[in-house]
Amino acid sequence: MVVIGSGVLAGYVWLVPTGSQSTIASLTPDTARGVLPKGSEVPARTVPPTRKPTYTGKCDENSPYGFTTVNADATLIALYRQMGICWVRYQIHVKSMLSGGGIYWGTLDSVVALMNSAGIHLDVPIQCFQGSCFKTPSIPTPAEMASFASQIATRYNGQNGHGYIDSFEIGNEEYDQNRKFAIDDYGPILKAGYQAIKAASPHAQVGMYGTFPSNPFRTMAVLESIFEAGFGQYMDFMNFHYYNQGLDPRVDADSTHPSFDHKWQLMHTIATRYGFASKPIWVTEIGWPLRPMDGRSAVTPDQQAQYLTYVTDQSANSGVIQKIFWYTIDYGYQPNNIYPPSGPMPAFYALKEYVRSKPVW
């Protein structure tokens, strides 16, 4: 076995077999930190879900399925009704809402009203306060996060005439995108946002941001920084995005591109070590493009359907993953869109059938 990375970050070692054609990697721990090897830890399926799913025959909060999109409109509702989907992760930038020293709520008011009237549940990441949202995104201070989180949660707590947002995320991918940001500084931002939202909307769920790099050492660094400093109590769910450069999610391509199962199992193992074995995971972005994108290989329409169905089934059977938001739908000719203007892709029909066969987990 060849050591690809050390266990400095979290007490794990990522190993790749030598003398073999296989590139499948496996995680084993640095025994000094007392983490059980993969296969020796308590099986994930023994961890009870946070909430026991009950299917009522209509959309409710127990539904595990959704899409991440920038368009929450009548077209989305029509597609959702065809598929039996009940959640939308709606992306809107804070900076687009700031106007003249105040906050312009018009766009979000309309989205919340429309989704609430359709019985579709909302998850909204609080993201992009100013500047570029992707190249070198600005990071809010804990005070800035708390201030905006308090205002948005108060407005949409279901008690003030503006409707209800079911869930919030404290950030999106900016904490990974900004290479100057010290990840140890995220915990205070998470805590500030969590406490502000819970004070204004006690029943809303609040999660960490969706960490997106494939590299497991980044995943470990993010979660270790949260749990080691005692911030694990300030999130209702862990969160990650899985694009993995467009690779097959069923296998470990190499030491920095783990399979989908190894990714979520790593997160669950870290949480368990810190006493949070029942902390659920949300996968808030996952998809495969039909055309090449920066850092992502293209797949065929049939592969897209196969991969999305596979990760959905693995999520359903994990006992740990609570929700999955596919990326994406109702988004023009964006390469990941499973229903572009030209018509539905095989993934649309595959996921529709999966939801029909298993409306809750």
Q: What is the pLDDT of residues 93-129, one digit of tens each?
A: 999 999 888 999 999 999 999 999 999 999 999 999 9
* pLDDT of 38: 31
CATH number given to 52-357:
3.20.20.80
Mean pLDDT in residue range 266-290: 99
- Are 226 and 186 contacting, i.e. CB atoms less than 8 angstroms apart? yes
Q: What is the mean pLDDT of the chain?
A: 88
Residue 8 pLDDT class (50, 70, 90 cuts): very low
pLDDT tens digit string along 188-197?
999 999 999 9
Every domain of the chain and the residues it spans = 52-357
Tokens of 359: 């409306």
Give the neighbor-by-neighbor strand order of the sheet with 26-29.
2-5, 12-16, 26-29
Can you give the pTM of this predicted structure? 0.87
User: Which DSSP letter does residue 141 get?
Assistant: -
User: CA 122, CA 152: separation in Å to the nearest integer?
Assistant: 13
